[in-house]
Structure 1
Amino acid sequence: MPSSAVDHSLEAKRLELALNAARLGEFEWDIEQDLLRVSERMAAITGLPAGALKGGGGDAIYSFVHLEDRAAVRAAVEESLRAEGRYEAEFRLAGEPGRPDLWLRSSGDVVRNEGGKPQAICGVIQDITQRKAEEDQRQTLMAELDHRVKNVLAAVQTLAQQTAKRTTSLESFLSTFAGRLKSMASANELLTAARWRGAAIAHLAAAELGGIAPGQTRWEGPELFLTPRAANALSLALHELATNALKFGALSSEHGRVNVRWHRRPGDGFELTWTESGGPTVQPPKRLGFGSTLLEQVTGRELNGEVRIEYPASGVRVVLSAGDQAVVERPDTVPAAPAARAAAPIVTDIEDADLGGARVLIVEDAVLLAMELETGLSDAGAEVIGPAYELEEAMALLDQPVDAAVLDANLNGRSVTPVAELLAARGVPFVFATGYGDTGGAPGGFDAPIIRKPYDVTQVAAAVAGLLAGRRARS
């Protein structure tokens, strides 16, 4: 066999392999003979018979385009062929009523004779149904994300306004508002881990009660999962109750106890009971604060149920009932129960965390948050290095002496690990301030404290002060 024939055979084989790998089907419209030649691969994709078909002056080449798309596709293709001698188009495949749409991508080029007259159009067809489905899913997810973000922002705005109306000092507002934000963040972490399919009551209780008054709180009940709306409402309710118990109720005394129990009501949601005991003698409040208003007017409505607050002398008792609409089936993905975390250090004034001229590096990609950290740490006496908003900026700043650092775990999609590794190698302590959920330890497995966003800058200052004190004690 001549070498040219062998080369042609190999080239044809390679072309066939490439077309199969790309799941492409080829065709040719012979304009001079008005024939549409359909390959076996294209026939398998479109359902057209393989072989030569009558072209019908070009009608045949558009016969597999969905009727609703056909006129627009034909006009666009013919215009592109006239202007550029080639075309690309995406369209739905004509099919039977009730059958899911199949999407195709087609591209082709004009083949001209020696005189420059169009002789044929050669092209390929590709099934892009999966890609279109993924694009639609992304659009749906983006729309849902946009909806949720707006809802969260509206809820935060309302919390800020209502908290401000019922507090008499800036310190009180910041403390109360920050606590409510953290409660919302805890619920959102659990929901995100479960892909927003639901959150377990036990996990919500653990997130709110697991880190306060060790040994004084207990929660128990069957496995129940709540809708995102109900989970956020219950998380905020538990936070308000826990805060009140710490300030005035059972948890303000070392002998006090809080017991939370819930049970399923067949066909009618669930009931949760919060019971305090062993604390100061209880008297009904003379004035209802926002926490009580939230419980009585908001929580019950959000749970399609009601809330009843009782004030026996032995301890506050709250009975929260929820409708069946608040409960969902067990999600496919269920996160592990939140690890019990000690409550963040209580710092009522930034000056309580004395950083005494310590050189503190700030690595944070959120500009407003970095500015707040810079101001807060400077007020506490630190000499701030940075802030660094990008990984390269942070690495460059490590050329100078650093006593401690505050690191965001993710910098515009890039891990802060290289910075943490250099700091650890030099024995420089650092704290992670991150918006990522609780995954069981510090990012990268480093032995470092973690402060979850949203946080108050006083928490960060207190954590850095603790790191420096520990370093001084070891040296």
Structure 2
Amino acid sequence: MSDEPDRRKWDPQRLSESLRAAGLGEFDWDFVRDVIRMSALTAEITGASQGERPAQGGEMLRAMLHPDDRDTAPAAVEVQLQSADHYAVECRCVRPDDGRMVWVRITGQRVRDDAGAPIAAAGLVQDITARKDEDDRRVTLMAELDHRVKNVLATVQALAAQTAKRTTSLDNFLQTFSGRLKAMASANELLTAARWRGASVEHLASAELGALAPGQTRWGGPELFLTPRAANALSLALHELATNALKFGALSTDTGRIDLRWSRLVDGGFELVWTESNGPPVTAPAHRGFGSTLLEQVTGRELNGETRVEYRAAGVQALLRAGPAALVERPETMPEAPPKRVVETVTASGGPAELNGARVLIVEDAVLLALELETGLSDAGAVVIGPAYELEEAMGLLDQPIDAAVLDANLNGRSVIPVAKVLAERGVPFVFATGYGEAGGPPIGFDAPIIRKPYDVTQVAAAVAALLQAR
């Protein structure tokens, strides 16, 4: 006979090694002798002594539990044992060796003798501290997200109300309000890239000025990072200044120039100077709109400093001073270079688009946006197909005549590429209407116009009209 061990039999040592590899410590509790034996890994996890020790009727185990779990955990086990001989419970242990708290998951099986009396329990212990910490972080992040969303909604509501009070027509309101929303969206995109730890002044300036009148704007200064609150405030301020410059100031002519410079202050804050030159003569506005109020009152307070706008004959100059509280340290996650300006490849047309009975497919998973698109395109004369809110729903609409389409890039977490491929193969033009920024843009590989959310429906109608005219 061979001296080789029988490989068909399970080696207890191999079982122990397998459990250790899985991070599972063993224990067994002899009710008759009232002793508990803990494996080496169980001892490592709980900080208790390895081997056999008195159970003291379970008091030894109970003493290892966190004070808040000493009653609830045993009670949970008892409830489970009333209907079965096995249990599982998650609770906190306080290590007796170093006082650290660890989360553990304990699973056990009660053992009975031939007469049915409980004589022992055996089970496994797993350290789940990392998972619990991750759960706590997730809960914290969700609460923080909820707070931010409510703040954003409240800000949007205030912007809408204040803009409406100071505009005399619906078209003017939509244009002004849309521009302010896009400024907020740019700031939020930069903050998201940095996990909401801060945004660079350089990046904010690039996002607002990068695509405006190439060659007429320049900006620079030391590396500074703003809090989310200050970043949103500065983004809106730069938007108001740029909008005014495009309408009345330096950017309303080909010769005008804008120079934006910022520097650190001795007190730990910073100063930013906006200077316009070579534009038309400037005079102070007779009517103070919300933009002026936002610049002179809101921005200064949000930056913990002050704002001053001077309407000099040679050009507007704005001075923004921010306190130290507006600045943060460089976030760990940041774009290494200023991002390219996130812009639409379509802008609103000068007048209403005429779609004249064109059959336009709408694929959009946000119901309100889909309804807004349907209304806007119908008003322009289109025959709307859909809207389709899901990928399968959109695919099911492709077997009918379609002249053009408006596609959301993401449909409840699923890519719209299958729809785009079918349309491209059939030669049907389409436009992407997307909320993605530079970090995650619309599907690549398609020569299609892009409109970034939040958008004006007139942009979509203009894009569709342009596509149809180009066919």
Q: Secondary structure at the match of 1:10?
A: coil
- 1:73-99 CA-partner distances (Å, limit 9, x unpaired): 222222322333222111111235985
Partner of 1:77: 77
CA displacement at 1:211 relative to structure 2: 2.0
Q: Secondary structure at the match of 1:62?
A: helix
- 1:317-342 CA-partner distances (Å, limit 9, x unpaired): 11111111112222222224232447
1:265 and 1:149 map into 2 onto residues whose CA distance is: 33
CA displacement at 1:234 relative to structure 2: 0.4
Partner of 1:338: 339
Answer yes or no: is 1:189 the counterpart of 2:189: yes
Answer yes or no: is 1:232 the counterpart of 2:228: no
Contact 1:66-1:95 at 8 Å conserved across structures: no
CA displacement at 1:132 relative to structure 2: 0.5
Partner of 1:146: 146
Q: CA 1:260–1:96 in structure 2 vs 1: closer, same or farther (change >3 Å)?
A: farther
CA displacement at 1:2 relative to structure 2: 10
Range 430-439 or range 166-175, more displaced: 430-439
1:433-444 correspondence runs (5 A): 433-439=433-439, 442-444=442-444
Q: Secondary structure at the match of 2:6?
A: helix
Q: Secondary structure at the match of 1:93?
A: strand
CA displacement at 1:465 relative to structure 2: 1.8
Partner of 2:171: 171
1:395 and 1:140 map into 2 onto residues whose CA distance is: 39
Partner of 1:243: 243
Q: CA 1:222–1:135 in structure 2 vs 1: closer, same or farther (change >3 Å)?
A: same
Look up the equivalent residue of 1:347 and give its one-letter code. S
Contact 2:64-2:96 at 8 Å conserved across structures: no
1:389-408 correspondence runs (5 A): 389-408=389-408
- 1:32-56 CA-partner distances (Å, limit 9, x unpaired): 2212121222122112222222221
Look up the equivalent residue of 1:109 and give its one-letter code. Q
Partner of 1:419: 419
1:160 and 1:124 map into 2 onto residues whose CA distance is: 59
Q: CA 1:167–1:303 in structure 2 vs 1: closer, same or farther (change >3 Å)?
A: same
Q: Secondary structure at the match of 1:80?
A: helix
- 1:314-372 CA-partner distances (Å, limit 9, x unpaired): 111111111111122222222242324477423355xx212232222111100010010
2:101 and 2:469 map into 1 onto residues whose CA distance is: 66
Partner of 2:56: 56
Contact 2:344-2:451 at 8 Å conserved across structures: no
Q: CA 1:26–1:193 in structure 2 vs 1: closer, same or farther (change >3 Å)?
A: same
1:384 and 1:330 map into 2 onto residues whose CA distance is: 48
What 5-or-longer segments of structure 2 have no aligned partner? none
CA displacement at 1:447 relative to structure 2: 2.7
2:211 and 2:148 map into 1 onto residues whose CA distance is: 28
Contact 1:212-1:342 at 8 Å conserved across structures: no
Normalised to the residue count of structure 1, the TM-score between the two structures is: 0.93
Contact 1:88-1:107 at 8 Å conserved across structures: yes
Partner of 1:347: 349
Q: CA 1:155–1:50 in structure 2 vs 1: closer, same or farther (change >3 Å)?
A: same
What 5-or-longer segments of structure 1 have no aligned partner? none
Range 244-253 or range 179-188, more displaced: 244-253
Q: CA 1:342–1:60 in structure 2 vs 1: closer, same or farther (change >3 Å)?
A: closer
- 1:83-136 CA-partner distances (Å, limit 9, x unpaired): 332221111112359854211110112111121111111111100000000000
Q: Secondary structure at the match of 2:229?
A: helix
Q: CA 1:13–1:266 in structure 2 vs 1: closer, same or farther (change >3 Å)?
A: same
Look up the equivalent residue of 2:456 and give its one-letter code. D
Q: CA 1:99–1:300 in structure 2 vs 1: closer, same or farther (change >3 Å)?
A: farther
Look up the equivalent residue of 1:346 and give its one-letter code. A
- 1:421-466 CA-partner distances (Å, limit 9, x unpaired): 2222333222211111223864234332221111111111112222
Contact 2:358-2:403 at 8 Å conserved across structures: yes
1:332 and 1:173 map into 2 onto residues whose CA distance is: 39
Contact 2:283-2:311 at 8 Å conserved across structures: yes
CA displacement at 1:219 relative to structure 2: 1.5
Look up the equivalent residue of 2:338 and give its one-letter code. A
1:85 and 1:371 map into 2 onto residues whose CA distance is: 57
1:29 and 1:415 map into 2 onto residues whose CA distance is: 54
1:299-448 correspondence runs (5 A): 299-335=299-335, 336-340=337-341, 341=343, 344-347=346-349, 349=351, 352-439=352-439, 442-448=442-448
Range 392-401 or range 55-64, more displaced: 55-64
CA displacement at 1:7 relative to structure 2: 6.0
Partner of 1:204: 204
Contact 1:171-1:348 at 8 Å conserved across structures: no
2:48 and 2:257 map into 1 onto residues whose CA distance is: 75
Partner of 1:116: 116
Contact 1:407-1:431 at 8 Å conserved across structures: yes
Normalised to the residue count of structure 2, the TM-score between the two structures is: 0.94
Contact 2:47-2:96 at 8 Å conserved across structures: no
- 1:392-415 CA-partner distances (Å, limit 9, x unpaired): 111111122322221111111111
Look up the equivalent residue of 1:372 and give its one-letter code. E
Contact 2:48-2:95 at 8 Å conserved across structures: no
Contact 1:104-1:125 at 8 Å conserved across structures: yes
Partner of 1:137: 137
Q: Secondary structure at the match of 1:460?
A: helix
Q: Secondary structure at the match of 2:236?
A: helix
Partner of 1:22: 22
Q: CA 1:195–1:60 in structure 2 vs 1: closer, same or farther (change >3 Å)?
A: same
Contact 1:263-1:271 at 8 Å conserved across structures: yes
CA displacement at 1:265 relative to structure 2: 1.8
Partner of 1:43: 43
Q: Report the aligned-residue RMSD.
A: 2.2
Q: Secondary structure at the match of 1:362?
A: strand
Among the aligned pairs, what percent are the same residue?
A: 65
Q: CA 1:322–1:98 in structure 2 vs 1: closer, same or farther (change >3 Å)?
A: farther
1:274-289 correspondence runs (5 A): 274-289=274-289
Q: Secondary structure at the match of 2:71?
A: helix
Q: CA 1:343–1:276 in structure 2 vs 1: closer, same or farther (change >3 Å)?
A: farther
Q: Secondary structure at the match of 2:279?
A: coil
